[in-house]
Amino acid sequence: RCLLKTVKGNIVVPEEILSFCCNGLQGSTSPPRARDPEEREEAPEAMASPSPPRNPTEVQMSQLVLPCHTNHRGELSTGQLLKWIDTAACLSAERHAGCPCVTASMDDIYFEHTISVGQVVNIKAKVNRAFNSSMEVGIQVSYEDLCSGKHCSICKAYATFVAQGPSGSKVKLKPLTPQTEEEKTEYSIAAERRRMRLVHKDTLKDLLTRSPRETELETRDGSVAVPAEKTRVESVELVLPPHANHQGNTFGGQIMAWMENVATIAASRLCHAHPTLRAIEMFHFRGPSQVGDRLVLKAIVNNAFKNSMEVGVCAEAYGQEMSVSRRHINSAFMTFVVLDQEGRPRTLPMVAPEPGEGERRYREASARKKIRLDRKYVVSCKQTEVPLSVPWDQSNKVYLSYNNVSALKTLVAKANWALAREKEKVRMYTLEEDKFLSFRIEMSVHIAASQAFSLLSDLRRRHEWDRHYASAELVQQVDDDDMIYHVVSQTLSQENKPQDFVILASRRKPCSKGDPYVVAFRSVTLPTHPASAGFTRGETLCSGFCIWPELEEMSKVAYYNQATPGYLNYVTTNVAGLSSDFCATFEACEKFLLKNKEDLIVRL
């Protein structure tokens, strides 16, 4: 069939050929080549839109669980799983760094299920964010049953890797540019997780200083306390070439596997049964070990609760000369349970700690359990699973602050915002998903981002521009970045009472270039400010400001608010009025910023 037709001596190009030339061969001067019918049939498939680009740092690993990988129950050894996790994460880190990388730390890991022989372990690892010389790698682990086709999540982990140059020198990493909504969310929250890691030890110390110094042993009916000394384990391992990476350093995953082995033995000595590892607390590698080193691994049960026990493990390295002092490589705390025939946790015997150091470990284990439960409850839950007002105390302050900021950053990273109204410089967007309706109002203001950040983060001044606020009292200065306010609103509730709120305000300056200034708000419960009869206690789930520098004296200010289900009835019946109200309030906010920026400069 001829593709080119002539009409009165002129060449007429069919529309589909012309379209192809314009869209696919712009700038080409070559005439179109005639195609045969088979080529014309394949064209639609060839023109299909390409799939989204794959993250260049993503590494996928699939391992078939063989009998050599399992324990006596035919389940995958957790130590073997840790080796695979560390290997996949390291390969992902090295893809981004372009040089050797070493494991610096691993966040909490909660194991949801066990994996049986014959099943497949699927591990996906990719770099979430690169900082100066370190990077966070996110790891997702699931298993696949080849016979039934069933897939199930096992755990999610975050590891920190450090890039190393010649002679162990640190390497400055290139920045990472996230592409998808999920990657943008992980990229943004990675800075907050990094902040949480840095204050982890301080959180434990702070909780211990507030707890009684005397060790109070738990009493349990019909149970005799087992001396902790009876659970002590010490083992030595020789680091051989198969245990090391391409740099000659011992695999971090191999060290974790050895540590898990001695911890399991210590736990077994307490319960006289085969325990199951449920969680590994956040830990840091303090230094490397090399081929030829001897690793001494020590483990002891620090404390036994009703249905779980904490085992402390320490790894030290030394060379051939015993006279040389040992190097502390790593310490970790692992939580074990013992399951009955129905898979329910059994009641465990009590532990009697040794005087001195044993009592210190006993008290610290109790504090870590409190922190671990808070962290899992607040940090690991999905946004819809966290209650609106979480009780505030010293043990969970770091994790509530993390949840506050990460919830706002997650909302900011959403991709399906729809423009609802634009009035002069103010733009209002909405986002509908599940049970929530979220709003975003933004505008550009002639003010430096740092100045807008300073003015908007102080709730005591919000009544100057927001007519819904009557007053805001600072009731607790947690630290330089977190404050708790008692806010009284002008808005009357259905009971014809003014509403009040107890709000945690968390401020964050940019972690790196391109990050916004963040001011996040969420409700908390404070014992000193319970609900009173004169007010209707209101709650806010997620709201706050993000401020991006545009020019030296120009910023984009955006306010976000995630409406709770109780708010939706008002929203759906008054969308037009709400839009006008938001826009008017934001215009008042601009006037407030412009009026006060000069005063702020003078004070500074």
Q: How far apart are CA 394 and CA 479, in angstroms?
A: 12
Q: For 492-500, what is the mean pLDDT?
A: 83
Structure tokens, 308: 């779980």
Amino acid (one-letter) located at 160: T
Q: How far apart are CA 113 and CA 223, in angstroms?
A: 29
pLDDT at position 42: 43
Domains of the chain: 56-190 (3.10.129.10), 223-383 (3.10.129.10), 385-596 (3.30.530.20)
- Structure confidence by residue, pLDDT tens digits, 187-210: 999 988 888 887 777 776 776 676
Residue of 53 and 197 predicted with greater confidence: 197
Q: How far apart are CA 542 and CA 407, in angstroms?
A: 7
Amino acid (one-letter) located at 111: F
- pLDDT cut 70: percent of the chain above it: 81
Query: Would you say residue 136 has pLDDT above 60?
Result: yes
Amino acid (one-letter) located at 456: L
Query: Nearest Cα to 125, choosing from 86, 88, 162?
Result: 88
- Residue linked to tokens 């699931």: 142
Q: For 83-111, what is the mean pLDDT?
A: 93
- Residue linked to tokens 């083992």: 235
Query: Nearest Cα to 333, choosing from 304, 357, 301?
Result: 301
Evaluated on CA atoms 269, 271, 272, 277, the torsion sign reads negative
Provide the pLDDT confidence category of residue 27 given band limits of 50, 70 and 90. Answer: very low
- Residue linked to tokens 């957790």: 78
Query: Nearest Cα to 233, choosing from 206, 207, 260?
Result: 260
Q: For 520-540, what is the mean pLDDT?
A: 88
Q: What is the DSSP string of 553-565?
A: TEEEEEEEEEE-H
Query: Would you say residue 130 has pLDDT above 80?
Result: yes
Q: How far apart are CA 443 and CA 454, in angstroms?
A: 17
Q: How far apart are CA 252 and CA 244, in angstroms?
A: 9
Query: Nearest Cα to 298, choosing from 362, 230, 232?
Result: 232
Distance from the first to the final alpha carbon of the chain? 79
Q: How far apart are CA 405 and CA 415, in angstroms?
A: 18
Beta strands (DSSP E) in 410-535 are 418-423, 426-433, 436-445, 469-477, 482-492, 498-508, 517-525
CB distance 555 to 449 below 8 Å:
yes
Query: Nearest Cα to 162, choosing from 93, 244, 87, 86?
Result: 93
CB neighbours of 603 closer than 8 A, spacing ≥ 6?
A: none
pLDDT at position 313: 96
- Structure confidence by residue, pLDDT tens digits, 413-439: 998 899 988 888 889 998 887 777 888
Q: Give the containing element (helix H, strand E) for 452.
A: helix 449-456
pLDDT at position 219: 58
- What is the model's pTM? 0.77
- pLDDT cut 90: percent of the chain above it: 49
- Which parts of 199-251 fold into alpha helices (H)? 200-210
Query: Would you say residue 25 has pLDDT above 50?
Result: no
- Structure confidence by residue, pLDDT tens digits, 343-360: 889 999 999 999 999 999
CB neighbours of 179 closer than 8 A, spacing ≥ 6?
A: 52, 53, 55
Query: Would you say residue 489 has pLDDT above 70?
Result: yes
Antiparallel, parallel or unpaired: β 101-106 and 283-284: antiparallel
How high is the mean pLDDT of the chain? 82
